Amino acid sequence: MPTPPIGRRQFVLNAGDALFCTLAGHHLTADSKVDLDHLSSQVPVPPKVQAADDGWSTTRFVSDTKAHAAAGPVREYWIKAVKTPWNIVPTHRDGMMDTRVRGKTKFHALAYRAFSPNFAKPLGPPQIPGPLIEAQTGDTVIVNFRNETGAPVTMHPHGIFYTNDMDGAYKGKYTDPGGFVQHGHTFQYVWEARPGTEGAWLYHDHGPMDPIPVFKGLFGHLIIRKPGDPVPDREFFLAFHSFTPLATNLDNSFSCINGRAYAGNTPTLRSKVGQTVAFYVFALDDDFHTFHVHGHRWLDTDGGMLIDNKTIGPGDIITAKFTEDNPGRWFYHCHVFSHLHMGMNGWYLVGA
């Protein structure tokens, strides 16, 4: 007897069973629930990483900035990757629809956390997105990165210049030490804000467990400014992403902005009429999103036309700049309707 055709509803229900990725020989779907520490223990340490680690204590650096002489002023950061309890919907309410969000919303995320020099003390709690990395044209950026997640993770930047060994990417047997930072180890990344790298960018894990650590929260913003360029009065750094069962081991998926879902949980942004405003928005999951602000428009840097809605794909980042002229309570959100109603929305409050 022939198999009946699959209807649209059954196709959607089966989507979670489709192969998403393969890690450590395991085939994972979007609904898989994984033990990241167990999976990572099955990934062999690459030869160059093992050679660099031999004889080093976990508190010493695997890299050395002396081999990368700074061409200009140095901006130095001390950042850890850590496990942290995280509540995706701390109010348990959807502010847009004024309804209660039911079900579990807490899990153990991975996040970057800023520290004072030599990791002396934390400068704040773990963040999703991670600490903002800022530089000016001509700066050398040094990131002292320590991994305390239990699995090998990294920091990989977009936009800024870096040499091959500072890529922060896993490359199998060709992996450099910066692409496989083991638990308890520290690596010193050196990047250069050369002319032509100006703009808003992002950084994220690109280690051997990719993309699970990214989906659990290991990403952040990077911005490079030209000296003398005016800084907007209000700057908003936003990440559009998802928390799925593959990352959280929860039963439901959430469409998020900066680690939270639903207005009243996502960042509430504020400005005043007359202020210059800039939104820096990136997408980093497996979907395309759009960025839309009610009651506002800006000049599209790609086409030179006024727009109020911009499509962004995984790894894309856009800048929306304008002078505020419209007071009130507004929404900003993704205009993919399933994402909007799974939490990818927030309040933008403009004072007169």
Q: Beta partners for 255?
A: 242
* SS3 state of residue 213: helix
**Number of other residues whose CB lies within 10 A of the CB of residue 141:** 24
The mean pLDDT value for 243-269 works out to 96
Note the pTM of the prediction, 2 decimals: 0.90
Local confidence band at 256 (pLDDT 50, 70, 90 cut-offs): very high
| First-residue to last-residue Cα distance in the chain | 69
CB 79 within 8 A of CB 153: no
Per-residue pLDDT of 20-71, as tens digits, reads 676 666 677 777 778 888 888 889 999 999 999 875 544 445 444 444 556 6
The mean pLDDT value for 279-283 works out to 98
Give the separation between CA 147 and CA 61, rounded to whole angstroms: 12
Per-residue pLDDT of 168-185, as tens digits, reads 999 999 999 999 999 999
Per-residue pLDDT of 189-240, as tens digits, reads 999 999 999 999 999 999 999 999 999 999 999 999 999 999 999 999 999 9
Letter string b/e over residues 284-318, b meaning 16 or more CB atoms within 10 A of that residue's CB: bbebebbbbbeebebeeeeeeeeeeebebebebbb
**Number of other residues whose CB lies within 10 A of the CB of residue 23:** 20
Strands 93-94 and 74-87 turn out to be unpaired
Per-residue pLDDT of 153-163, as tens digits, reads 999 999 999 99
Local confidence band at 124 (pLDDT 50, 70, 90 cut-offs): very high
pLDDT given at position 25: 61
Tokens for 339, please give them: 């994402």
pLDDT given at position 302: 81
Give the separation between CA 249 and CA 266, rounded to whole angstroms: 21
Give the separation between CA 320 and CA 307, rounded to whole angstroms: 10
Domains and CATH numbers, the chain: 13-38 (no CATH), 43-227 (2.60.40.420), 230-352 (2.60.40.420)
